[in-house]
Amino acid sequence: MKVYGINDAVFVTVVRSLKAEKEVSFMVESIRTFAGPMSKCPVWVYTRVPQKQNRMNLGGLGTEVVHLEIPDSIAEYIFADAVSACALAEDKAKGKFRSLIWIDTSCLVVQPPLLMNLGPDADAAVRPVHVRNVGRLAAEPPDGYWQGIFNALGVRDVSSTVASFVDDQRIRSYFNTHSFAVNPDKGLMKRWLELFEKLVTDKGFQSDYCSDEVHKIFLFQAILSTLLVSVLDEERIRILPPSYNYPYNLHDKLPEDRRAKALDELTTFTYEGRKISPGEMADIEIGVSLKTWLAERT
């Protein structure tokens, strides 16, 4: 596989809490250590914390801290920060980078994530969701929640499907957002923000179909998934293999045949709520060099 130049991709994340401030330097250092040809890609960290107040230790990591602006109409809605950061980063990256790679602070890179460097062959790279949660089974008609999203996009339905990784449910295309890549020249992130704002401020949609916590939490993810499959041709969406975005936080819930045997086999993984000190990771093998790296940093 051709590896495109390091200047073709930029990593983007957002810091939304004190915990994330501690996580972000860990995540950035994993990119610098294990991403191979992509280890020198720029990393833009969006935050609403004034620079003089933030406690992020990013010195010497080649990372830019950028002020995050969120529209007032959605400022208090969950994950509005991620959507807003991606839209701002897209505008900043347009015409300069071929791949905008969103990565959550609860993720680590342990092998070069080469498939997220889109090149000319794709306009997005994504993983299916880990579990179905609000996803709609492919054999069932869309419910009011998904129909509202389809209506906002001006489509009747979507025909593409994926299988959720952990619980293996065949659902309408619904993608994980711990990490993904898009072509910033396509304007997908700007459109994502517009649609998110439209549905968050739609009082009827919110009261009828999005009044509970789980539907609010995953609204940003459901909108992005529908947007990608509605706007892009199927062959322009790269479905990443299971070594990307591996859910170590759900490791014990995975069937044996889909459970990673060793951390070193993965490309990126999320640990979201799990401790990743080697002494507390008895359920997965870790090679000596990676174990040493983790032990020195946890």
Classify residue 36 as exposed, middle or buried by CB count within 10 Å of its CB (0-12, 13-18, 19+): middle
State the pLDDT at residue 61. Answer: 77
pLDDT at residue 298 in the model: 84
Q: Which residue from 222, 249, 200 is spatially nearest to 132, judged by alpha carbons?
A: 222
> How confident is the model over 112-164, as pLDDT tens digits?
999 999 999 999 999 999 999 999 999 999 999 999 999 999 999 999 999 99
Q: How confident is the model at residue 20 (pLDDT cuts 50, 70, 90)?
A: confident
* Contact between 30 and 105 (Cβ < 8 Å): no
For 17, the token pair is 């809490």
> Which are the contacts of 285, defined by CB distance < 8 A and separation ≥ 6?
261, 262, 263, 264
Top-confidence residue, 5 or 63 = 63
- Report yes or no: 206 and 215 within 8 Å, Cβ to Cβ: no
Check whether 52 has a pLDDT greater than 60: no
**Cβ neighbours of residue 32 closer than 8 Å, sequence gap 6 or more:** 39, 40, 61, 62
In this prediction, residue 3 has a pLDDT band, given cuts at 50, 70 and 90, of: very low
Tokens describing residue 120: 């000319």
Are 156 and 199 in contact, with CB atoms under 8 Å apart? no
Per residue in 259-295, pLDDT (tens digit) is 999 999 999 999 998 999 999 999 999 999 999 999 9
In which residue are the tokens 């549905």 written? Answer: 199
Are the beta carbons of 245 and 113 closer than 8 angstroms?
Answer: no
pLDDT (0 to 100) of residue 57:
67
Contacts with 54 (C-beta within 8 Å, 6 or more apart), sequence order: 15, 21, 47, 65
Q: Where are the alpha helices (DSSP H) in the chain?
A: 18-34, 80-93, 144-153, 188-200, 203-209, 213-217, 219-231, 288-297
pLDDT bucket at 4, cuts 50 / 70 / 90: very low
For tokens 């969006």, name the residue.
46
**Rounded-to-integer distance, Cα 34 and Cα 169, Å:** 32
Average pLDDT, the chain: 93
Distance CA 241, CA 183 (A): 19
Give exposure, 221-248, as e/b (b: 16+ Cβ within 10 Å). bbbbbbbbbbbbeeeebbbbebbbbbbb
Cα(237)–Cα(105) distance, integer angstroms = 24
Percent of the chain with pLDDT over 90: 88
Domains of the chain in sequence order: 6-135+175-187+238-297 (3.90.550.10)
User: What's the predicted TM-score (pTM) here?
Assistant: 0.95
Alpha carbons 241 and 267: distance in angstroms, whole number: 9
Structure tokens at 41: 């890609």
